[in-house]
Amino acid sequence: MKYIFTAVLLLIALSACGNTTTEPPPTTTTTLPQPEPTMQPTTQPTMQEAELPTMQPITTMPYVSEYLSQVEYWLSKLTLEEKIGQLIMPRLPWQTTAVTANLQPWLDAIPFGGFILFSDNVQSIEQVQQLTADLQAQARLPLLISTDEEGGRVSRVGRLFGGATPAAFDIGQGEDSVHQISIQNANQLRNLGVNMNLAPVADIWSNPANAVIGNRAFGHTADVVMLHVAATVEDLQNGGVLATLKHFPGHGDTYEDSHYQLAFHNHDIYRFWEKEALPFIAGIEAGVTAVMPGHISTPQIGGHTALLPWMQPWIDNGNLPVTFSDFWLQEILRGEMGFDGLIITDGLEMRALTDHFTCGQIALGAFLAGADILLIPANPAEAFQALLDGYHDGYFTRERVNESVRRILHAKEGLD
């Protein structure tokens, strides 16, 4: 059933509608109901216990207030620490397959907004269903639970259903129906309690020597990739699973594998608009929820701002990764391409970044550039602290945090 953020009593809604961005609404003689929380108070020393009831199914809670949206109400109630927790999507500790007493302190320490599942978290259909249900049950707000289920060689849960679906390139060649495959993926992921797929790949396999993308792409040409990307986005999201385009602004013409080293897109901006941009535009027009930037440098394309002092040398030599580029994420993706959904980073533990930057630099740099969700920081606690320190050091405002959290809450609001 569809979740809804807990309704506000009308008197509270009316008193709050002029102040929904930072602090809770003014106190009135009417108070919110206070059911027992599902999560123990956090052990994080700076965290306050929130006054929030847990989310309730739409069928059991009335919706009151045309003046104050559910998202804005919850945004006004969350503490700064809870908001920063929403920005981080770690992987579970290695080979975690259940929520146990040993895992609970880790879950309690930081109120993460979601998790990504890998093959080591997957044993059986029933086990994954229990894992995702237990993760949701311990969280105050619904979680984004993601995985990479592209098909082919990138399949985390396909073996539970008899094997991975075909590789995207095979689908693009017309060997299988893109609609049949993406609808099947949506049904299987929903069945497991996974509500976000880090797919489809919107890269064009234009460099035959590119092994990291290769047959993960739907084709060698923009027209083939555009068609299949748009269809996959629509089918996944109609099936209740949020889709993610990757790897912006295009990883298909690189030689390097960003899992192991920084990748380079050695073309100018005109080539981008003529080729690499097209599948991303098609996916955005299809209503995609999220876009994932790659850890890619674009030495022939400038315009980046040194958001942190360590960025300037990387800008000067043309090697600044898109992950840290306000030009790519703000001016191009949000500005020129009009995308206002979630920007979720590629895995921040990848060596394209960790060989050169600390976990804290990576987390703060990606957020300042425009990312909403930080995927798999090498050290989630360090990433959390870097964002908290960044706020207190004046690198960004509470409203900047609210912008990202607002997008995250809107995405969660629509989940079943």
Alpha helix positions (H), 248-330: 269-271, 277-285, 311-316, 326
Between the alpha carbon of residue 3 and those of residues 107, 158, 230, the distances in Å are 22, 27, 27
Three-state secondary structure call for residue 70: helix
Calculate ∠ Cα 184-113-297, nearest 5°.
80
Active-site residue set: 259, 346
Chain centre to alpha carbon of residue 113: 9
Q: Residue 208 is encoded by which pair of tokens?
A: 């035959």
Rounded CA-CA distance 317/54 in Å is 49
3-state helix, strand, coil in the chain (%, to 5): 40, 10, 50
Rounded CA-CA distance 388/390 in Å is 5
Q: Residue 225 is encoded by which pair of tokens?
A: 């990739």
- Which residues 6+ apart lie within 8 Å of 287 measured at CB? 233, 234, 237
Three-state secondary structure call for residue 8: coil
Q: Residue 77 is encoded by which pair of tokens?
A: 């109630």
* Terminal-to-terminal C-alpha distance of the chain: 5
- Which residues 6+ apart lie within 8 Å of 157 measured at CB? 117, 119, 122, 128, 147, 149, 188, 189, 192, 194
Q: Residue 376 is encoded by which pair of tokens?
A: 């798999």
